[in-house]
């Protein structure tokens, strides 16, 4: 049976191009001379510097030039040696870590230290290197909520390591450009996913996933103070639960509501903040805000379905002190199909309250919003196409009175190959997609097994690939043969590169988990798109 495992030589789609060094001793270069300026390199020649051993690499590089010093001599097999001192600044040489056999060290200059070229007062460098860049990769793996993943297997090149108690890992002596892959799994329900970030160059990647931990929940029963408010179609009692590991919301009724908000964490206990807002509406549009309150609720998931927390009843009587104001702006559509507008109050607790929940888009728009403690306003607009492709754009951190909150809905990508419902997909089948917003230069490809909680995520700048290009942790993870799958492409904001998607804090947009409402820590304004989903069946 075909398992679509990746071969080790193709691991992560790159060859390990670290400079191991040939130990060939280069000859000493000719002496560099000191000078007063780049355009008038006069002055006495400095003393000769000592020769340095070069390291074999992918290509030869040139030494940096010190701003005012003359350059050192050529080495035996590599590029030019490092520059002599004498300038206040210089430019670093090309091919720092991956250069060819190093040139010899030029004669010492007599001027002050250079900034990017050689070392102080002598311009000494190995193989014409400019700034020294560590070849070690110090990374971290986190989930959507920013929690560290412990014990996750990670691979770069042929090196496999495991994340520590802080979700961190170190892989030494990594090529200038590299792929990193890792495996995420949890057991409730049994789930396993392979992740790969392609074409990284940064030495400090933060690798974010959506899920990584078992879910927990405890029932919470919430009641209003008796006869404190009317309950008709013109009123809406919004309840939002927020925490550092999960969030939820629901609309309450006159008799109260019971909810099991879920959090994802290694801990079986959680601290919820419950936010209650009573809204007066007309045709689903808020016209006033009647009452606001909060509760702090500690829960412990013991595994017993009888567990329940019941906070003190919430008074929904009129609070005349609530401050409100309008937010207004315009929406520029992409295709305009099934278009909707949203307004949320978001809190530092992680909770959100949908005060305007998916009403038909109007533009320009003006909506009444409240000013609440530890809260800010998010305005969003979405489109869903007939083929299922989706886009939403949002602006965060707003306050009542904000004007010119203008939104432009981005275009989703379009899947090309393999064609929808294709059969016998194997390691050599080409996958490709096209289009999308012109400002996006890195993407998230999602492949999902339709029978099991199993799949693959690819963070990449490439719009074409094969499964054989994507080995996960030395072939420890693979897409299962003979199974039906779906695949689609997402964009999260407008990243300039895969490096940008591996920046501190992660890449995931606030709307990643729910699509039509935000979740998690407030990361700021952005957008999310998702292409149409294609189906395929792997070869047996």
CATH architecture entry for 216-309: Sandwich (2.60)
Q: Return the pLDDT at 531.
A: 98
- The string of pLDDT tens digits covering residues 225-238 is 999 999 998 999 99
Q: Return left, alpha or beta for 503; rule: phi > 0 is left, psi -120 to 50 is alpha, else beta.
A: beta
Determine contact, residues 14/175, Cβ cutoff 8 Å. Answer: yes
The residues pairing with 45 across neighbouring beta strands, listed in sequence order, are 33
Closest alpha carbon to 33 in 49, 44, 22: 44
- Distance between CA atoms of residues 72 and 129, nearest Å: 13
Those residues of the chain that have pLDDT short of 50 are 1-130
Give the tokens for residue 218.
């405890």
Q: Return the pLDDT at 10.
A: 34
Closest alpha carbon to 459 in 246, 209, 265: 209
- Distance between CA atoms of residues 454 and 60, nearest Å: 45
Q: Please, what sign has the CA dihedral across residues 140, 143, 144, 145?
A: negative
User: What are the φ/ψ torsions at residue 467 (nearest 5 degrees)?
Assistant: -65, -30
**Domain segments of the chain: what residues?**
1-17+135-214+424-478+488-501, 19-134, 216-309
What predicted TM-score, i.e. pTM, was given to this entire model?
0.76
Q: In 10 A of CB 535, how many CB atoms? A: 14
Domain 1-17+135-214+424-478+488-501 and domain 216-309 have a common topology: yes
In angstroms, what CA-CA distances link 89 with 63, 82, 112, 119, 495?
14, 13, 9, 11, 33
Q: Return the pLDDT at 27.
A: 36
The residues pairing with 229 across neighbouring beta strands, listed in sequence order, are none
Place of tokens 């179609």: 233
- Distance between CA atoms of residues 196 and 174, nearest Å: 16
In angstroms, what CA-CA distances link 468 with 9, 334, 431?
11, 35, 11
Report the top-level CATH class of 1-17+135-214+424-478+488-501.
Answer: mainly beta
Q: Return the pLDDT at 131.
A: 52
In angstroms, what CA-CA distances link 275 with 222, 227, 251, 307, 533?
11, 20, 12, 21, 36
What's 498's DSSP letter? H
Place of tokens 């297997």: 153
Q: Return the pLDDT at 84.
A: 35
Specify the 3-state DSSP secondary structure of 528. strand
Specify the 3-state DSSP secondary structure of 293. strand
- The string of pLDDT tens digits covering residues 371-405 is 999 999 999 999 999 999 999 999 999 999 999 99
Query: Per residue in 219-233, is it b (16+ CB within 10 Å) or e — as a string?
Result: ebebbbeeebbeeee
């Amino acid at each position: 049976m075909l398992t679509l495992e990746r071969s080790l030589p193709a691991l992560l789609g790159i060859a390990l191009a670290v400079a191991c060094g040939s130990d060939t001793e280069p000859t000493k270069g000719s002496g560099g001379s000191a000078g007063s300026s780049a355009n008038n390199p006069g002055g006495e020649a400095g003393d000769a510097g000592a020769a340095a051993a070069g390291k074999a690499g992918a290509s030869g590089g040139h030494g940096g030039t010190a701003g005012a010093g003359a350059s050192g001599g050529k080495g035996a097999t590599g590029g030019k040696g490092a520059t002599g001192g004498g300038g206040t600044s210089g430019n670093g040489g090309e091919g720092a870590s991956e250069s060819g056999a190093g040139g010899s060290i030029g004669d010492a200059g007599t001027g002050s230290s250079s900034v990017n070229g050689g070392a102080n007062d002598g311009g000494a460098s190995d193989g014409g290197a400019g700034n020294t860049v560590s070849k070690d990769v110090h990374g971290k793996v986190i989930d959507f909520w920013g929690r560290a993943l412990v014990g996750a297997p990670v691979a770069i090149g042929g090196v496999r390591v495991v994340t520590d108690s802080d979700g961190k890992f170190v892989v030494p002596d990594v090529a200038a450009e590299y792929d990193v892959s890792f495996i995420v799994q949890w057991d409730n329900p049994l789930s396993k996913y392979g992740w790969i970030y392609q074409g990284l160059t940064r030495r400090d990647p933060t690798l974010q996933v959506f899920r990584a931990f078992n879910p927990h929940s405890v029932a919470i029963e919430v009641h209003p103070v008796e006869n404190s408010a009317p309950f008709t179609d013109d009123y809406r009692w919004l309840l939002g639960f927020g925490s550092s590991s999960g969030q939820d919301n629901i609309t309450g009724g006159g008799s109260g509501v019971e909810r099991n908000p879920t959090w994802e964490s290694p801990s079986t206990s959680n601290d919820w903040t419950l936010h209650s807002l009573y809204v007066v509406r007309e045709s689903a549009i808020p016209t006033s805000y009647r009452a606001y309150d909060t509760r702090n609720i500690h829960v412990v998931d013991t595994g017993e379905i009888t567990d329940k927390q019941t906070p003190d009843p919430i008074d929904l009587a009129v609070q005349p002190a609530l401050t409100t104001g309008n937010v207004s702006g315009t929406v520029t559509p992409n295709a305009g199909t099934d278009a909707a507008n949203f307004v949320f109050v978001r809190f530092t607790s992680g909770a959100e309250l949908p005060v305007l929940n998916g009403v038909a888009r109007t533009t320009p728009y003006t909506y009444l919003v409240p000013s609440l403690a530890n809260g800010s306003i998010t305005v969003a607009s979405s489109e869903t196409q007939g083929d299922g492709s989706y886009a939403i754009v949002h602006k965060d951190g707003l306050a009542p009175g904000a004007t010119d909150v203008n939104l432009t809905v981005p275009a989703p990508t379009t899947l090309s190959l393999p064609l929808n419902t294709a059969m016998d997909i194997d390691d050599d089948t080409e996958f490709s997609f096209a289009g999308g917003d012109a400002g996006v230069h890195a993407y998230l490809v999602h492949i999902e097994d339709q029978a099991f909680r199993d799949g693959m995520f690819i963070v990449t700048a490439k719009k074409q690939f094969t499964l054989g290009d994507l080995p996960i942790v030395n072939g420890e993870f693979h897409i299962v043969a003979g199974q039906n799958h779906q695949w689609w492409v997402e964009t999260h904001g407008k990243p300039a590169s895969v490096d940008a998607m591996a920046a501190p804090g992660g890449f995931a947009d606030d709307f990643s988990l729910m699509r039509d409402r935000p979740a998690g820590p407030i990361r700021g304004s952005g957008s999310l798109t998702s292409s149409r989903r294609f189906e395929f069946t792997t070869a047996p």
